[in-house]
Amino acid sequence: MEKIKDLLSFFGGKEKLKEFARQHETPAYIYAKSIVEHNFLAYQKHLSENQGRVCVAIKANSNPELLKILAAHGAGVDVVSWAEAQRALDCGVPGQKIVFSGVGKRRSELERAIDAGLAAINVESQAEFELIQNLCKEKQKRVRLSFRLNPNVDANTHPKISTGMFENKFGMDHLQVEDLYKRSHQDPWIQAVGIHFHLGSQIFTQDPYDQALDQAFTLIDQLRKQSMIVEFLNVGGGIGLREQSIEEHIHAIEMHMKKIVDESHGKNIKIFVEPGRSIFGNAGILLTQVLYRKQTSHKTFVIVDAGMNDYMRPALYEAPVHLEYLGESKNHETMDLVGPVCESTDTFAKNITFTVCMQGDILAMMHVGAYGYSMSSHYNLRSRPAEFLWDGAQYRCIQEEILA
């Protein structure tokens, strides 16, 4: 727990956060600018411009102010809809630094991607490839494509966030990728430039990456032997986040990048990475206030003003919530921490032993900067919460609360 406590200092510290909560509506997301930057630079330092690119997966967090900070550091982005691509363009990320993944890109999205000249569209199926071929021919425009390999590797993560197995809808097998790569070679409008994989999210071991890298390099060798050009290998994102200090997290990124760069050494290939959670996760907290204590004959419920619409990972994946108490109580009790949404799954923690929370007390949910706000909704016609940035001196509102 100490490690997490230290983390609060990156958000202004306990006292400032309490003062913030007295002056602003809760729930509210707060991001630490310095953590976003640290995390990004830990990746970036391993990849100079000619060694590859860090394409931040902005589905994890697409706040424009955070994107502008990353763009200023030279970040590329990984997007999964044209709206994400447009937001990145608006925030100063050039088209040549954008990769576009996803199994279900619409025709209009592909048209825009072709017009914008992206770094690559990640092709996920033969049908998508053929649509792109037709669009390029109609438009008489060239496009850069990379092909998403499904290596059928178990990333040992929650099944709901695994993407690199045949069971999952993503990517194509080795033979399909090889076939489409060759077909690109025959098409004057298609420039095949890379191979892509993404194994899943919340991955804590290097082994799945090693297995996928092996497969990808075998495929790349085969393609090159047939005179195809492979500029880059995109190894996706996936580095996990748990209750850990900033230093431990940065260390995990460094070790991952070192391994990837070492294994690709001498292969004459650029490396792209697409981190999402490991850039934003520990850079965001959600402040919430205790609305009521409710004692039943069975248990104690502590009801807070944040709900599953504000932070849905516990409801969706049984993700644990790391809590920090900002009140004055000293005693502990066993309780359920729940939100106001009309669903029993609107539960952040069940039967935990935690500090006795009184009405009005403030809690911080830690490590919620990734897939927190970006997955929030207006369910029950609740507002989407405001977002603030702590820049080391002050809290700046970077997204007003949105009323339903």
Shorter beta-carbon distance to ligand LLP: residue 27 or 372 = 372
| Residue of 55, 136, 342, 357 marked catalytic | 342
Shorter beta-carbon distance to ligand LLP: residue 252 or 290 = 252
Determine how many CB atoms are found less than 10 A away from the CB of residue 250.
19
Shorter beta-carbon distance to ligand LLP: residue 128 or 361 = 128
Pairing mode of beta strands 28-32, 284-295: antiparallel
Instruction: Report d(CA 10, CA 201) in Å as an integer.
Output: 25
Instruction: Report d(CA 233, CA 376) in Å as an integer.
Output: 32
Shorter beta-carbon distance to ligand LLP: residue 278 or 289 = 278
Shortest Å distance, C-beta 352 to ligand LLP:
21
Q: Is 55 a catalytic residue?
A: no
Shortest Å distance, C-beta 277 to ligand LLP:
4
The two tokens of residue 249 are 């997290």
Shortest Å distance, C-beta 386 to ligand LLP:
21
List contacts with ligand LLP (CB under 6 A): 57, 59-60, 78, 101, 161, 198, 201, 236-239, 274-278, 313, 317, 370-371
C-alpha distances out from residue 404 to 38, 309, 376, 377, Å: 35, 12, 12, 9
Determine how many CB atoms are found less than 10 A away from the CB of residue 110.
20
Shortest Å distance, C-beta 378 to ligand LLP:
18
C-alpha distances out from residue 388 to 7, 276, 304, 311, 378, Å: 17, 19, 20, 16, 19
Q: Nearest to residue 140, comparing CAs of 187, 94, 85, 180?
A: 187
Write out the catalytic residue numbers.
342
